[in-house]
Structure 1
């Protein structure tokens, strides 16, 4: 019996390499099809009373540009973002219990009135964080540290999905959804893609990714509360095997 095929669309850096190894350890055939290339803007966070990071990539790029905490309250959305800061020997003051922008707004709403807040993130963040903190009375500035572009090599997973040859598909950000579907539209095969995905287990990380999937008329099978990739992969592979055994 052939191994299940599971596509991973993570950025074309160490994350997709790590994802491939992990999927192999789960006994499936990984389809590595990065939908994201990270393009740094060369900017660094401004000084503020609060500094917010939303991703490990943002932390890494800020540190490369010479950022270091200088008395501000450092906030991180997600355990992995917090770990990236701690790996630089920087303390993290706030990590919301709900790893979302809305969760951080709720955590900070009672203390940021009249304070300056710097948000250091990608150029594609939602306005939930900015709007929520401004409504709480903060003076908010956003520094876009990087853009996420579609690699020229992307598309293998789309072709396999159109042909109904994917058992599992892992989306880890709204941009992976956008680029995946853009490729299908470029191929003029959006309808065929949706039919081909009928038998594919779709796993997503995060509420924004889930919304991007649903907004495009697709169904989600696996959506763990954690933003941990390994949990997403493990649960998706488990569901792939459950569906195969029930056929």
Structure 2
């Protein structure tokens, strides 16, 4: 079974509303999908209580109507509210609102299949504009940035963990910024832009942090203004002074 998109769920609810009751065959014909896929789609929508079954026909529900109308209005907050009634959606959202996790960790924590987790993440991509995929982890980024000392503490922890081994034969004092950023963002649930903002604030505070670019022959050249954008992270290095 492949995961369903938000659009497919909207389409089946639209069809049920328009026909005032549909069969598997109706969905198969109207949506130009095979019988197995039509059956799976109806079962998924029924499980989410967007439609209900009565004999061989499926009908819309109050929740399904609210779902469809919210989508048509582009009301993502209302759509999120409706989808929160679906326990797996609420469970996944609750977990990634607290910490960054991998797909495997989500499966383990929720007892959902990989397909179910992927479908819910697809829904969250539409309903939550702060959904982030970072490395192999997924999370909902924080609305408020952390305190500077908390950011610095996590930055130092990540930096010194990475500095224990050298990279490509280079000094282990210089760590590529993107590698540090990913781990810090996962820990604090930050976006790359958030990381850049916090790093700027940290440098402005006088913290013992140096940023460098990679020059000729792998020499590390200090930045004059010590500020970089996320698009440059892969070409820049960070060094924390003792």
- TM-score scaled by structure 2? 0.28
Specify which structure has the bigger relative contact order, considering alpha-carbon pairs within 8 angstroms and separated by 6 or more residues. Answer: 1
Comparing both structures, which one devotes a greater share of its residues to helix?
Answer: 2
With the length of structure 1 as denominator, give the TM-score of the two structures.
0.28
Q: Which structure is larger by alpha-carbon Rg, 1 or 2?
A: 2
